[in-house]
Amino acid sequence: MSEQTPAKKTELNWSLIAKLLVVALLIVLLAINADPTQLHLGVVQVKWPLWVELVIAFVLGAFFGRDVWNWIASKFRKPKA
């Protein structure tokens, strides 16, 4: 007789779930904020839909947030011996 191994429990990938929730929330925010707004960039004024500004802020925040967090975390890591 052949023995069957018990089925492994599938573990939830919480990181993937969190990322999907953030993307879903971002899509809802983009759909709600479609009104054009004026953005003052020093001497230049541009009129963009608010969702464009939100996407730019989201991308910059994700990029710089990760780098700043890694820099802060590296300050508190113990040196490897």
The radius of gyration computed from the CA coordinates of the chain, to the nearest angstrom, equals: 22
Please report the pLDDT score of residue 79 as a whole number.
Answer: 67
Please report the pLDDT score of residue 81 as a whole number.
Answer: 60
The whole-angstrom separation of Cα 45 and Cα 36 is: 13
* pLDDT reading at 23 higher than 80: yes
The whole-angstrom separation of Cα 57 and Cα 63 is: 10
* pLDDT reading at 44 higher than 70: yes
The whole-angstrom separation of Cα 76 and Cα 58 is: 27
9-28 average pLDDT score: 83
Helices (H), 1-81: 14-32, 50-76
What is the average pLDDT score of the chain? 79
pTM score above 0.85: no
* pLDDT reading at 7 higher than 60: no
Element (H, E) at 44: strand 44-49
Residue ranges of the domains in the chain? 34-81
Distance of CA 19 to the CA centre of its chain: 7
